[in-house]
Amino acid sequence: MLSPAPPPLRFIEAQPWFAGVSVALQERLRSEVSTQHADKGSVMLPAGSAVQGWHAVLSGLVMLQSPASQGRASAFIGVPDGEWFGEGSAMKPEPRRYHVIALRPTTLLCLPLPLFATLRETSLGFNQFLVQHLNMRLGQAMTIIEAGRTQSPEHRVALYLSRLFWRSTRRLNLTQDELGQLVGLSRQTVNKVLRVLEGRGIVSLDFGRVAIVDDDALNAYLAATAAR
């Protein structure tokens, strides 16, 4: 009986563009991807460091955060397990512009820059995947700008619970502390908003975790709080 492939290989082989590349390139992908593990609170990839490749979260959760500006840091986005990030950094010859911080014990996969460049040059499927991913990130960036402009904590929390940020699941493996770090609000404020959402039947809370139970109601709540 064959032993199961290690998680990094299973992950890379499951990518929708993997089967469409040459056998030689598949073998390079299997042999050259690497992993990095860190505990909760660790800066896994610091701002200003040289970019080594394109990254994915194999397990855990990371926050992409801008460096402190005038004594204040602002969170960009949370990236859960199974998702890629840093494609913009991988495409530009410049240092990383943001910190990548582990919000819980986390393992990252790195697809090295030379392989990333080869895939962009030779694989239509990879480029289609990359364009879709960049389009998603653009939508998230616009939403983050909107969230930063609003003074309503209700609207900010609801935005960060929307499908734009959590495509693959509506039962978020996310604590209120983690959500607070992503939104830039205290746990107490996040809890207050979540209790309101729970009372309206929009979310359910179970042992500190959040599940979205009514997306239509969440969208209506977003529209209502945006008008305030």
**What tens digit of pLDDT does each residue of 80-93 get?**
888 899 998 899 88
Shared domain for 89 and 175, answered yes or no, is no
Range of the structural domain that residue 201 is part of = 150-226
In a domain, 137, yes or no: no
Q: Given 3-state DSSP classes, what are the helix, strand and coil percentages for the chain, each rounded to the nearest 5?
A: 45, 20, 35
In a domain, 178, yes or no: yes
Count of structural domains, the chain = 2
Candidates 100, 106, 104, 42; CA nearest to 67 is 100
Shared domain for 67 and 171, answered yes or no, is no
Shared domain for 174 and 207, answered yes or no, is yes
- CA–CA dist 141, 143 (Å, integer): 5
In a domain, 145, yes or no: no
Q: Which CATH number belongs to the domain containing residue 15 in this structure?
A: 2.60.120.10
Per-residue pLDDT at 14 exceeds 80: yes
Question: pLDDT tens for residues 144-172?
Answer: 666 666 668 888 888 888 776 666 556 66
Shared domain for 20 and 120, answered yes or no, is yes
Shared domain for 23 and 122, answered yes or no, is yes
Shared domain for 110 and 205, answered yes or no, is no
Per-residue pLDDT at 15 exceeds 90: yes
Shared domain for 104 and 168, answered yes or no, is no
- CA–CA dist 137, 116 (Å, integer): 18
In a domain, 140, yes or no: no
Mean pLDDT score of the chain, rounded to an integer? Answer: 84
In a domain, 36, yes or no: yes
* % of the chain with per-residue pLDDT over 70: 85
Shared domain for 122 and 157, answered yes or no, is no
In a domain, 69, yes or no: yes
Which pLDDT value is given to residue 71? 47
Shared domain for 203 and 94, answered yes or no, is no
In a domain, 131, yes or no: no
- CA–CA dist 184, 17 (Å, integer): 35
In a domain, 179, yes or no: yes
Give residue 25's pLDDT band: very low, low, confident or very high (50, 70, 90).
very high
Shared domain for 178 and 210, answered yes or no, is yes
* % of the chain with per-residue pLDDT over 90: 39
Residue with tokens 């009372």: 199
